[in-house]
């Protein structure tokens, strides 16, 4: 109970510090633009200009969609790429950890491709698939896949061998061992990999939309640049940042549902 009561003030302090830092940044923004005019509004728009532009983009389409339409397009592409990375990355990581032959054959190729930046795939993806949604999802997949594979492999590799031996003693087959030992034991590491993959995929998507997008938040920013609308650019940038924070917060909050045994264990220890 003492540890729990100590954690609560620490959490509240962290939120207070975070709110204060954002408030100070917002105040500095107001002072440098609206209040004292230290920065040309054509270079850095005032907060009110950005708010007004955001309100306008809610109702009036810009470059084919409202702000919510652009956000939904980005989230849809990002979700498709990330889900594919999760679906293929977790089995690949497990195979790397438990199948030596597969690891010897596939790991060198994985390591080679791992160090190629996601944006380097944009030109070849455009040649293969055109400026399509799949092209942008491919960039998201390339950015998200390595983190899931690496963290899954590490999670499985660190499971105590005694756990496997005990499962075999009780007659568990490979399927049961996978469900009851491998997945639960590696889950915290897999979850960390997913968080990193989600972040990498989101950033990669916005970059791809800047280059080949026809709708989306990245495309909104590029169109704002072409139309010399700095306020539109800032609406896109802020929207990307806010959505990124919301996505990461949702993933953190979902940990208790995905791994309820961790919450139970930590509650017992406190």
Asked whether residue 115 falls in the same domain as residue 161, the answer is yes
Average pLDDT for consecutive 10-residue bins of the chain (270 residues)?
53 77 88 82 89 94 91 95 96 93 92 88 86 88 95 92 80 80 89 93 90 89 91 95 92 78 48
Tens-digit pLDDT profile for residues 11-37: 677 778 778 888 898 889 888 887 787
Are 11 and 90 found together in one domain?
A: no
Q: pLDDT at position 263, please?
A: 52
Q: Which residues contact residue 200 at a Cβ distance below 8 angstroms, ignoring those fewer than 6 apart?
A: 118, 143, 144, 147
Total domain count for the chain? 2
DSSP-derived secondary structure letter, 115: T
Q: In which domain, by residue range, is 9 found? A: 1-39
**Domain contains 145:** yes
CATH code for position 216: 1.10.3720.10
* Domain match, 83 and 209 both: yes
On whether residue 85 sits in a domain, the answer given is yes
Q: In angstroms, what is the C-alpha Rg of the chain?
A: 23
Check whether residue 26 and residue 49 sit in a common domain: no
In a domain, 234, yes or no: yes
- pLDDT at res. 262: 60
Q: Residue 79 domain-assigned?
A: yes
pLDDT given for residue 204 in this prediction:
93
Q: What is the pTM of this model?
A: 0.85
Whole-angstrom distance, CA of residue 130 vs CA of residue 213: 11
The pLDDT value given to residue 75: 95
Helix ranges (DSSP H) in the chain: 2-30, 47-59, 67-98, 100-114, 122-129, 133-157, 161-169, 174-177, 183-212, 217-226, 230-253, 255-258, 260-269
Whether residue 65 sits in one domain with residue 9: no
Evaluate whether 93 touches 150 at the Cβ level (below 8 Å).
Answer: yes
Token digits for 68? 């919510």
pLDDT at residue 261 in the model: 61
pLDDT for 26 equals: 86
Does residue 229 share a domain with residue 135?
A: yes
Q: Give me the DSSP letters along 227-263.
A: TT-HHHHHHHHHHHHHHHHHHHHHHHHTHHHH-HHHH
Same domain, 170 and 91: yes
Both 137 and 258 in one domain: the answer is yes
Q: How many CB atoms lie within 10 A of CB 153?
A: 25
**Domain-located, residue 244:** yes
Q: Tell me, yes or no, whether 270 lies in a domain.
A: no
Say if residue 29 is in the same domain as residue 89. Answer: no
Residues 69, 6 share a domain: no
210 located within any domain: yes
Same domain, 34 and 52: no
30-45 residues labelled b (16+ CB within 10 A) or e (exposed): eeebeeeeeeeeeebb
Q: 212 and 174: one domain?
A: yes
């Amino acid at each position: 109970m003492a540890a729990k009561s100590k954690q609560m003030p620490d959490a509240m302090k962290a939120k207070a510090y975070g709110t204060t830092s954002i408030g100070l940044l917002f105040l500095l923004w107001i002072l440098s633009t609206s209040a004292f005019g230290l920065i040309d509004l054509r270079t850095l728009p005032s907060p009110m200009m950005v708010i007004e532009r955001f309100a306008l983009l809610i109702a009036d389409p810009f470059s084919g969609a409202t702000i919510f339409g652009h956000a939904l397009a980005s989230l849809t592409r990002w979700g498709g790429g990330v889900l594919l990375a999760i679906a293929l990355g977790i089995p690949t990581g497990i195979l790397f950890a438990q199948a030596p032959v597969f690891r010897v054959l596939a790991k060198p190729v994985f390591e080679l491709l791992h160090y190629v930046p996601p944006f380097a795939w944009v030109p070849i993806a455009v040649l293969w698939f055109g400026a399509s949604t799949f092209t942008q999802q491919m960039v998201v997949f390339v950015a998200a896949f390595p983190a899931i594979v690496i963290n899954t492999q590490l999670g499985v590799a660190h499971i105590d061998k005694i756990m496997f031996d005990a499962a075999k003693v009780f007659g568990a087959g490979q399927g049961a061992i996978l469900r009851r030992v491998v997945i639960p034991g590696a889950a915290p590491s897999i979850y960390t990999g997913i968080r990193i993959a989600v972040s990498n995929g989101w950033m990669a998507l916005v970059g791809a939309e800047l280059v080949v997008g026809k709708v989306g938040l990245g495309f909104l920013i590029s169109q704002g640049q072409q139309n010399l609308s700095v306020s539109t650019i800032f609406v896109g940038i802020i929207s990307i940042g806010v959505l990124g924070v919301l996505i990461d917060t949702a993933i953190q909050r979902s940990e208790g549902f995905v791994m309820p045994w961790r919450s139970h264990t930590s509650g017992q220890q406190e």
